[in-house]
Structure 1
């Protein structure tokens, strides 16, 4: 705790979670609202930084744009307890406790070892497809018939050698890119996203949202040495989707405004 920090806490309620907003205490608003710039930056203990826009309503500051993504990423639910430390200059520290009163286990974040290794990943594992084929019906029907729609998943089972070839037959009216899963991507390193793709379709977006199992999985973009990679959130997605080396994923951009992707899996058979 910083000695000069201003402390306050909020108990999360279902109504505000459903609305995707958070109202700050009126006393805090009266004392600091005039000097608070927009947006503010939330800094949990995992080393991430989240940009949140706010508005004024009924003499209270309301966190709005960006807050919903923060809540989704940390799986904040009714009854969770959040402690805020305001350091000034629109910077907030945030600690999150669950309903038992214990601080949560924060998702994996980029550490120094990952930063040291990040440029060792070959960008050949990523392929981008920006242009839409003229005839979408050219997609192989046999591949489509193998897609498993259970649990809101789009999945093809194939051999290790054929997984990438099957993925390359995918077509869509939406832009997409392909990632081949390697052992490094299952450990510390993170997959690169083509720079041209992000410049053309994502611009200054800092968070991607990947739809999987009827849930949006936020992932932060990490920019380093002229590369752009999926960072915080990737590790959780890998575990939830049970990815293995040799699998291939297609990330299809279905909502450019919100940087929302559908994911299509091409699994290789593992002994």
Structure 2
């Protein structure tokens, strides 16, 4: 559904929304009436701009009078954990950059908390290696110990359970912590920190070690579309073969920087 309003001689922004289904998580068809009126004026790629200030580059497929969001759309849905029943509101102002402001409503009919998705390393993470972790400092001080343990945590999880495990985890190696959600298990991407200072940018082949086995996994680089990195090819197999579940907390410890080997520590979800 889409609509636009006239105000004097000007045109107000055009709004349309799409309900997210299992069938449009990888590509999304723009409403036909919008495509007929404005499709020819859209640049390719376009940019999606949520309220968190990020801009996501999405390539279009135009066929006859129909327009689809394709390359880049799946990364957008993955980052914000879009699933069946979510709603995305698009606002288009006809700008030369073909930018769409977007608002995401989850299946509870509330706008999502954008700060919980994807950009952990931009504003509230610990990030800087070898700094004293403030919570670990307090913990050690309360115990009366003289030597304060430093933390090489590369992110600062917002979710309480993940944060708790990150605080408790002690290692001489850099590590990051992720609370798994349903899309992390069923899809092929897992958003991870940039790993700046330990792994240079670029697509990498890494190994994930768990128990007595290892799995090869592809690590995608940062680019202008997104500021994080991702585990991609191989991640889904790792998650399935180790029966990872939503609610599990994973700590990824970089035990070999030369060969890019991560030892994975899994803290299972609490079940009633």
Given the two structures, how large is their TM-score scaled by the length of structure 2?
0.50
Supply the distance in 2 between the matched residues of 1:79 and 1:241 (Cα, whole angstroms): 25
The runs of at least 4 consecutive aligned structure 1 residues that moved more than 6 Å come to: none
Supply the distance in 1 between the matched residues of 2:222 and 2:86 (Cα, whole angstroms): 34
After TM superposition, the structure 1 = structure 2 runs for residues 103-118 of structure 1, keeping only pairs within 5 Å, are 103-108=111-116, 114=123
Q: Deviations over 1:235-267 (max 9, x none)?
A: xxxx96365xxx833599x9xxxxxx9853369
- Tell me which residue corresponds to 2:201: 198
Supply the distance in 2 between the matched residues of 1:15 and 1:64 (Cα, whole angstroms): 13
Q: Which residue of 103, 107, 113 maps to 1:95? A: 103
Supply the distance in 1 between the matched residues of 2:175 and 2:22 (Cα, whole angstroms): 39
How far did residue 12 of structure 1 move? 1.6
Supply the distance in 2 between the matched residues of 1:191 and 1:69 (Cα, whole angstroms): 16
Supply the distance in 1 between the matched residues of 2:230 and 2:203 (Cα, whole angstroms): 17
- Tell me which residue corresponds to 1:209: 230
After TM superposition, the structure 1 = structure 2 runs for residues 7-18 of structure 1, keeping only pairs within 5 Å, are 7-17=15-25
Supply the distance in 2 between the matched residues of 1:95 and 1:262 (Cα, whole angstroms): 38
Supply the distance in 1 between the matched residues of 2:256 and 2:20 (Cα, whole angstroms): 33
Assess, with a 3 A threshold, how the Cα gap between structure 1 residues 59 and 42 changes in structure 2: closer, same or farther.
Answer: same
Residue 55 (str. 1) matches residue 61 (str. 2): yes
SS of 1:214's partner is: helix
Supply the distance in 2 between the matched residues of 1:242 and 1:77 (Cα, whole angstroms): 22
Assess, with a 3 A threshold, how the Cα gap between structure 1 residues 80 and 196 changes in structure 2: closer, same or farther.
Answer: closer
Q: Gaps spanning 5+ residues in structure 2: where?
A: 6-10, 132-151, 154-168, 178-192, 205-220, 241-246, 267-272
The question of whether the paired residues in 2 share the 8 Å contact of 1:45 and 1:94 is answered with yes
Q: Gaps spanning 5+ residues in structure 1: where?
A: 127-158, 168-178, 183-189, 216-238, 255-260
Residue 46 (str. 1) matches residue 52 (str. 2): yes
Assess, with a 3 A threshold, how the Cα gap between structure 1 residues 82 and 263 changes in structure 2: closer, same or farther.
Answer: farther
The question of whether the paired residues in 2 share the 8 Å contact of 1:21 and 1:67 is answered with yes
The question of whether the paired residues in 2 share the 8 Å contact of 1:53 and 1:64 is answered with yes
- Tell me which residue corresponds to 1:249: 254
**Alignment length (residue pairs):** 176
After TM superposition, the structure 1 = structure 2 runs for residues 66-215 of structure 1, keeping only pairs within 5 Å, are 66-87=72-93, 88=95, 89-108=97-116, 114=123, 121-122=128-129, 160=170, 163-164=171-172, 179-180=174-175, 192-194=195-197, 197-198=200-201, 202=221, 204=223, 206=226, 207-210=228-231, 211=235, 214=239
How far did residue 86 of structure 1 move? 0.8
Q: Which residue of 34, 56, 59 maps to 1:28? A: 34
Q: Deviations over 1:173-214 (max 9, x none)?
A: xxxxxx3469xxxxxxx7642497215754746442234873
